[in-house]
Amino acid sequence: MPHASGHGRSGRSRFRLNSDGRRHPLENALSVCTILCGLIAFVAGFIPAAHSVASFLGVLGFFGGLYSQYISATTQERALNIVGIVASFVGVAFGIRNGGFLP
């Protein structure tokens, strides 16, 4: 029963966004952009001088992630979206706390 554990024929576990066997280029790109915006906003939120970057990228990642979650096709895309949305929310909250949207 190798398919139940998620391991392929080679015995290695790989993280793939297209687990259903079909291509989803738009959904994959939006998921990756959501996680990148979220991580950058999260890290920039801890730097008081980068509050504008954290605020703008946090809002972009949050709303882009919500749209990406809406059109996502696989569970792996949804997992990336949720992590990106939460990181974006925390990043924008820290960015607003440190000074807001304007430099």
Q: Is residue 7 part of a domain?
A: no
Q: Does residue 42 have a pLDDT over 60? A: yes
Q: Is residue 34 part of a domain?
A: yes
Per-residue pLDDT at 62: 97
Report CA-CA distances (Å) from 38 to 8, 11, 101: 30, 32, 16
Average pLDDT along the chain: 88
Number of domains present in the structure of the chain:
1
Structural domain harbouring 37: 19-98
Q: Does residue 22 have a pLDDT over 90? A: no
Per-residue pLDDT at 39: 97
Q: Is residue 86 part of a domain?
A: yes
